């Protein structure tokens, strides 16, 4: 019988599901995020709802890191965030193998499930790296006094807010948020993943993720923002050397699907 674990869709929740599965000694397991249907059909045992507890997740991570390594854990974390179909089962097999074989899992690159996990992990790491370059912040004016209501309006910082939109293939917000916290620590900022309706929020040096977000209206860009994005577009155009014109190469490096949010390609005009 295939045991079925229902978790909340987060990485932490998934770790808790892995821990629960491990505890019951289950070899065959299925992991379902909210809304997903079991593929086991007739052979499915009743599904089990797993509660997300930070403690459990941390303990499971510690256990895996001790048995295998920090790098292997980072690898499976990237792979999980690919959101590829069936990635949970794949990672589960990787974890089981890791707990059995220890450190040498990292060298078993020519075998399944290791090579698939590594391939997914590389793809996500690559996309996250790309987005350290592709995120475009825009300066947004804070709503006028009163609009935010009493509570929220009171604690408004003096500096403008930086707002960015992205639509990546993988769920990369958790990987790029710490990177931007280090860079733009002196301003409040938010990165909005439109595809997942998720937001990374940073204020006063700490960041967090918020889900289920939608904008009530178009953000109100500052006057300085308009000037700056015009300068950037003009700079971008003047950097190209006509004698070397090569739009095909450009397109392989900046695929069209990312351009809607890139100022220099006329995004969000």
Chain contacts with other proteins (rule: CB under 8 A): 104, 106-112, 115, 119, 122, 125-126, 128-130, 132-139, 162, 164, 179-180, 182-187, 224, 228-232, 234-250, 252-254, 262-264
Write down the least CB distance from residue 76 to other proteins, Å: 16
**Smallest gap from residue 216 Cβ to other proteins (A):** 23
Residues near 145 by beta carbon (within 8 Å), at least 6 away in sequence: 153
| Cβ atoms of residues 187 and 162 within 8 Å | yes
d(Cα 93, Cα 28) in Å, to the nearest integer?
9
Q: Which is nearer to other proteins, 104 or 197 (CB)?
A: 104
Nearer residue to other proteins within complex by CB, 56 or 75? 75
Cα angle 54-58-62, degrees, rounded to a multiple of 5: 175
Burial zone of 131 (CB within 10 Å; 0-12 exposed, 13-18 middle, 19+ buried):
buried
- Write down the least CB distance from residue 35 to other proteins, Å: 31
Closer residue to other proteins (CB): 99 or 148: 99
Nearer to other proteins, 152 or 249 (CB): 249
Instruction: Identify whether 173 is preceded by a cis peptide bond (ω within 30 of 0).
Output: no
157 vs 211 by CB, closer to other proteins:
157
In the complex, the smallest distance separating the C-beta of residue 64 from other proteins, rounded to whole angstroms, is 19
Contact partners, residue 97, CB within 8 Å, separation at least 6:
105, 108, 113, 114
């Amino acid at each position: 019988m295939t045991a079925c674990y229902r978790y909340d869709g987060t990485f932490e929740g998934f770790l808790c599901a892995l821990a629960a599965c491990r505890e019951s000694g289950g070899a065959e397991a299925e992991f379902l995020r909210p809304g997903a249907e079991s593929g086991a059909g007739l052979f499915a045992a009743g599904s089990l709802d797993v509660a997300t507890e930070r403690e459990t997740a941390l303990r499971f991570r510690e256990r895996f890191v001790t048995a295998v390594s920090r790098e292997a854990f980072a690898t499976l974390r990237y792979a999980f965030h690919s959101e590829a179909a069936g990635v949970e089962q794949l990672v589960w097999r990787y974890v089981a193998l890791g707990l059995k074989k220890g450190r040498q899992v990292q060298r078993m690159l020519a075998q399944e499930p290791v090579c698939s996990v590594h391939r997914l992990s590389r793809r996500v790491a690559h996309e996250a790296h790309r987005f350290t370059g592709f995120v475009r912040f825009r300066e947004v004016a804070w709503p006028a006094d009163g609009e935010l209501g009493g509570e929220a309006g009171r604690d408004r910082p003096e500096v403008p807010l930086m707002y960015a939109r992205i639509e990546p293939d993988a769920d990369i917000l958790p990987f790029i948020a710490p990177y931007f916290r280090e860079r733009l620590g002196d301003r409040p900022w938010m990165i909005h993943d439109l595809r997942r309706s998720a937001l990374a929020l940073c204020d006063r040096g700490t960041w967090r993720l918020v889900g289920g977000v939608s904008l009530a209206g178009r953000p109100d860009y500052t006057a300085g923002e308009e000037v700056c994005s015009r300068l950037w577009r003009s700079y971008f155009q003047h950097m190209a050397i006509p004698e070397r014109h090569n739009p095909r190469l450009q397109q392989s490096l900046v695929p069209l699907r990312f351009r809607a949010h890139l100022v220099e390609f006329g995004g969000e005009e």
